[in-house]
Amino acid sequence: MDKIRVAAVQMVSGLSPQKNIETMGRLVKQAAQCGADWVLLPEYWVLMGANDTDKLALAEPLGGGRFQTALSETAKACGVVLFGGTVPLQSREAGKVMNTLLVYGRDGVRTGLYHKMHLFGFSGLGERYAEADTIRAGWEVPHLSAEGVPVAAGICYDVRFPEFFRRQLPFDVLMLPAAFTHTTGKAHWELLLRARAVENQCYVVAAAQGGLHENGRRTFGHSMIVDPWGDVLDVLPEGEGIVTADIDANRLNSVRSRLPALKHRVLDAV
């Protein structure tokens, strides 16, 4: 790795899967035209349903379905490595789906995946969320790579669990699709992303949902790219669009050599 141009796509996904597919394709194409080599989509890009159970009817078997086909074809058409946000996949548990990040190479071939492990739950201020009602938790810590670069992955709520990313070391880039609520995002989103970048001395690429959705839910947005020193390189507060920045090997190595915190670790992750 010398320099890799990365882009995070921000969406305000609605009730129509087809419209969401079209928006996804348009924004990935825009990112590619801006020189992006890698593109990350947000969590739940395929649907922000009227009810949490709406995604059950859309669940696809791994390896087939319109969402996976759209991701594969878009990656190939745009010539990018596409980190495909999350797609609902069929699970072995009735009434639940897997919330899955799928990764596609420039040739459109799937190269990796990760099923979300930490399931969000929150109640207060007139809101209630319980992902465990409709999502089956993943069971395997990801160890991904893209074009020879070691990559960590998490999905939204995972960002609150630093030990989860320690288990994925070594990596140079952390990819995080999300759909943070406005309430929790305003309080913690940037804080958590910058903390994960600093403690792991890595780039963090975070793609979010960002705005008022057709179902009445409001997500926080602020898709951003953070460098290993914790500096925010680009951010989009709200609305659909993209953020871009370069993953710079020289910058990464400089931070790690000047402050070799990863080499000073005493306790291993368990």
Q: What are the catalytic residues?
A: 43, 116, 156
Sheet of strand 223-226, all strands in order from the earlier edge strand to the far edge: 144-146, 149-153, 173-178, 203-208, 223-226, 232-236
Amino acid occupying residue 129: Y
CA distance 23 to 27: 6
List the structure tokens of 235. Answer: 């951010």
CA distance 39 to 81: 6
How are the residues of the chain apportioned to helix, strand and coil, as percentages rounded to the nearest 5?
30, 30, 40
b/e map of 41-79 (b: 16 or more CB within 10 Å)?
bbbbbbbbbeeeebbbebbbeeeebebbebbbebbbebe
Closest CA to 41 of 17, 60, 20: 20
